[in-house]
Chains A and B, each alone.
Chain A
């Protein structure tokens, strides 16, 4: 039995029928990480001791039959921007290389309470700034489907770990496609929930008004299982919704017949890789076969998605990263410093990578006196237009279908010299974040032996429909069951 490619519910079944223990499952994962991860490099930190301790506790819970949840004893990994008490949380940045949080993120606590087992923290583009994981200050992560290619970003480590069988599920974070784009590159299912559905408390912020924590897993059902456990109102995060979290898995089998699937015409234009386009067309036929109505819709302001997204990102990120100043935690470069300002400068100079510095400077510029109206304010206004695009589309259809990237995974180093080219790989995924709507990425086939991803975009707080449709699709396809050969 291959323990490392189990779905959550397969593992849960084996655990609760005592066929395996959580310690066994966890050890199998740790063993595979030791064997495979030197090639993939998806983990920044493996928290072996903590994992085994949590696994033992999970086994006790299962033995006593007390408080057993679908996640009890299930090993998972987490993007390294989510705070874990006692386990260093680096955002793949030198400035936080040795930062060990004193507190847990709300998501970390919720998963611990559910009895899930934290294997470790996964690599990412530094502070989430990037689309290939190549902006990690530590090392590149390799796509398990082709080690010469990138896993996507910024949750590239999470996606690669998932795809390589180095975790049963993983927690990613999506600011502008950071869950969906790598999910597509690595043949993984992942969701960016509605903004405010999952608490951000303890998530090291990139863009406070976009950041959405979301699970990545083997299929839509597992995604729904994890989201049920991590979503909900948090008194520590004023931007979370008060509305109760639906029981997604309970209703996941409801028929999708008659549902209206919108195809935004602006997303299917020249520049898309032929194999990606044909995979998407094939998927559309599949949805049709499932009894869904296909409608072409328009999101007229799509072309502004990228500039709006990046402008607001630069602005908010420049403030969010201001606390990394070398005085209280993380890297502190004080040698030969004249004064405290000098410590700030030296620390930030050494601690941040080029892309981070570029974005902080652009953000400070966009917010500065005399430019605020032309950049930040204008972007906020266009953001409203983007949101209205979705609202108007959703007055006609139940959900939308789009690719996650115009291409499959590109080669390591291919786009690193041109930041703009790199930004363009996010073109299909960024607009959802300024709009706040949920979007689920799932495997749609292969192009030249590399996975093709697609996303279903839903109405505010309507993750349920996304899970239903994705689950129905995965009942009749097996793209998501394909594993790379490593």
Chain B
């Protein structure tokens, strides 16, 4: 049965850009490392009278780079604008942003979990494509610290370059929104323009949400949820808001256009401003900054800096390494991980599939358990490749290789040395294994009895016992063969 309602979701993504200095002054943009509040400040970013902004060239380059990565066109003539509103975190009483002519417009990003209102719709579009309306540059605000009867302002973050990436309302499920947000984050990380560290607030989401009867192509009244600071918040808030709106329609009510906040503790959206109370930002062109004039050659130069992006890399991994698409996608979700994979593959004699299973398995498990990034891992791709090859060569068993891997990651060293030191080399010598098999069978007459009575699943148990007795050194395949033979003989 088809669902009755379909959500319509658009996302605004605010991403701080990694630059040395702030957007409009020479202060350090690295507010996270500032020793104290209000140390990375000057007349410009604290809005002192007479101070004037000067646009950060690097930030403009990075903004164009992001736009190009998101398949946008770069506006050769684009302008800054003042967005006027009063708040203590906004020292000038206006934010310098871009309005009529943003730096980038009209892009798109393909997602994997799109769903559509269907081909019958007049506004049919590729279900997996999210159109990007615009990418524009603005400045971040100061940070407020609320105390009981007052608030303190730290201007270290004020004026840090911020990118706003605005999608069209093209997502039709929470999953699609999550997928889109994840992909944008991955691209930003690929480009090295944003760490993607949501806990540090360098990436924030706002979701525009409406719901409509499934199959309809109307756009109904939407609400806007502000300040979603994690994927979890994005998912929960969107799901909650969709349900809330459906309930309103089902009870015959109407959705009110408003700005909402997300209460993460209670798990509900709360009204912040109604349409009537909505800010009139009184945008007008920023007279202190001349329009940005970008040449074709400049744009071409920026374009040439684009690295291979996740989508293209995934395709290549599937073709070049014969990986399954979902396996390739996992590896390309992070550029560092993809690079690491390729590096190990290039140094290993084993198949890329084997390397993938090691990286997707043990290696990722280690990263997840330790909370580390690929970049934090000191294990060289050479060592990792050597270890994988030792498994392929049957020099060490898979299980023992896991032990070696843990050792390598923790303390480094050479895999061969560790195997030797710990006596973990795999033994395929039949006479040695035969001896152990015989001993295990002799020591466990009850199990042998059961096996012979028909409980053949016990074979694996015998193999396990041999592995334990040999500290994993016995080649499991040889063990299995010899155990089968020995048990068959006892049957006679």
Contacts and interface: CB of A to CB of B under 8 A. Distances in A.
Q: Tell me whether A and B are bound partners.
A: yes
B50 A323 contact: no
B298 interface: no
Interface stretch (A36-44, A154-162, A270-278, A362-370): A362-370
Interface stretch (A65-73, A235-243, A384-392): A235-243
Nearest to B286: A208
Contact of A235 (B49, B54, B153, B287): B54
Chain B's interface size range is 20 to 34
B290 A101 contact: no
B152 to A, nearest CB: 11
A364 B51 contact: no
A208 B51 contact: no
A319 B288 contact: no
B43 interface: yes
Interface string A325-348: 101110000000000110010000
B92 interface: yes
Given A340-B151, A367-B282, A368-B282, A327 B88 contact: yes
B7 interface: no
B93 A319 contact: yes
A99 interface: yes
Interface in A91-127: 91, 96, 99, 101-103, 105
A316 B82 CA distance: 10
A451 interface: no
Interface string B57-90: 0000000000000000000000000101010100
A474 B55 CA distance: 44
A238 B88 CA distance: 27
A237 B287 contact: no
Contacts of A82: 50
A29 interface: no
B88 A367 contact: no
Given A322-B93, A323-B92, A329-B48, 16 more contacts: A101-B49, A102-B48, A202-B51, A205-B49, A235-B54, A236-B52, A239-B288, A315-B284, A319-B282, A323-B93, A324-B49, A327-B88, A340-B88, A340-B151, A364-B282, A367-B84
B280 A368 contact: yes
Given A209-B287, A239-B288, A96 B88 contact: no
Contact of B50 (A201, A319, A344, A369): A201
B46 interface: yes
Contacts of A200: 50, 52
Q: Which 6 A-B pairs have the closest CB atoms?
A: A322-B93, A208-B287, A367-B282, A209-B287, A204-B49, A202-B50
Contacts of B49: 83, 89, 91, 96, 99, 101, 204-205, 323-324, 329
Interface residues of A, number: 45
B165 to A, nearest CB: 24
A325 B282 contact: no
B83 to A, nearest CB: 10
B280 A369 contact: yes
Contacts, number: 102
Nearest to B93: A322
A139 interface: no
B249 interface: no
A367 B290 contact: no
A203 interface: yes
A239 B289 CA distance: 7
Which residue, B46, B49, B86, B283, has most C-beta atoms of chain A within 10 A? B49
A372 B290 contact: no
A105 B50 CA distance: 8
Which residue, B52, B55, B84, has most C-beta atoms of chain A within 10 A? B52
A481 to B, nearest CB: 35
Nearest to B46: A328
Contacts of B288: 205, 208, 237-239
11 contacts: A101-B49, A102-B43, A203-B50, A205-B288, A208-B287, A237-B288, A239-B289, A319-B82, A322-B93, A323-B48, A367-B284
A342 to B, nearest CB: 12
Contact of A322 (B92, B153, B283, B287): B92
Contacts of B47: 323, 328
A103 B43 contact: yes
B289 A238 contact: yes
Contacts of A203: 50
A322 B84 contact: yes
B127 interface: no
A364 B85 CA distance: 11
